[in-house]
Amino acid sequence: MKLQLALDDISLTDALILAEKVRDYVDIFEIGSPFIIAEGMHAVREFRRNFPEKEILADTKIMDAGAYEAGLTFEAGADYCTVLSVTDTLTIQACLEEAKKYNKQVFVDTICSPNLDERIKEIEAVGVDSISVHVGVDQQAVGKTPLNALKEVKAISKTSQISVAGGIKVNTVEEYEKVGADIVIVGGGINHAADPVATAKALGTKIHSFTSENVTA
C-alpha cells in the first residue's frame, strides 16, 4: 500500500519545506485542488524539479476540456491528474487519451457520484484503471467517511487500482487497508497534526509495513 500526501491549504514555500522533511515516508505528493487554485501548474513544476524521484499527482478534478486540462498537468511534470466521475464519459476518455500520449495515468475521483455501481462499470468499460474513492472536506464536516464507498467500489471494480481519501488519520488507516485500498490519501491528518513530520513518519511506517506483510505472506 502507498501513502499519498495531499497538500491542500498550504503555501508553496511551506509545502516544499514539509515535503523535503517527509520525502522518505511518502510515495506520492499530491498538489491538491486548493493549492492548484492558489499556485497553478507552477506548484507542479516546482515539485517535479525538487523531487525528481517522486510520483506527483495534480488533483485537478477535471470536469470539462479533458484533453487540454490533463495535458497541462503532464506538461508540468505530473504523473497523474484527476477527473471527476460525475462528468461526461467523453471528458474522461479525453483525459485517458491525453495521458496515453505522455505515458501517464488518470485517477477518476468518485466525489458526489450517485449510482457508483453503474458508473464504475461504465468507466472501466472505456479503459479507466485508476479510481479514487473520495468523501470531500464539506461532507466530512457532517460525519461522512469513504469506508462504505470503498467497500462498494472494491466489490464492483474489475481492473482498477484504488486510492481512498476523506479524513483518514493514523488511527483509522487500518480500516482502509483491510478493505483493500492500494493507496491511502491523507491531507488534514498530516498537515493539521500537531507534528506533521512525526505523523507522516508514523503513517508511512504503518502503511509500508502492510505492504511488506502482504509481500511476505
Q: Toward ligand 5RP, which CB reaches closer, 92 or 165?
A: 165
The answer to whether residues 196 and 7 touch, using CB atoms and an 8 Å cutoff, is no
Q: How many CA atoms lie within 13 A of 28 on its CB side?
A: 24
- Kindly calculate the radius of gyration of the chain based on its CA atoms and give it in whole angstroms: 16
Window 174-203: residues binding ligand 5RP (CB under 6 A): 185-189
Centre a 10 Å sphere on the Cβ of residue 217 and count the other Cβ atoms it contains: 5
Residue 9 as a binder of ligand 5RP (CB under 6 A): the answer is no
Residue 137 as a binder of ligand 5RP (CB under 6 A): the answer is yes
Q: Given the C-alpha cell 498537515, which residue does it identify?
A: 191
Sole binder of ligand 5RP in the list 77, 166, 196, 204 (CB under 6 A): 166
Three-class DSSP category at 81:
strand
Q: Toward ligand 5RP, which CB reaches closer, 33 or 105?
A: 33
**Which among 158, 155, 157, 133 is positioned nearest to 144, based on CA atoms?**
133
* β-bridge partners, 82: 107
Report the nearest approach of ligand 5RP to the CB of residue 197 (Å). 17
Report the nearest approach of ligand 5RP to the CB of residue 186 (Å). 5
Residue 71 as a binder of ligand 5RP (CB under 6 A): the answer is no
Interaction site with ligand 5RP (CB under 6 A): 6, 8, 32-33, 59, 134, 136-137, 165-168, 185-189
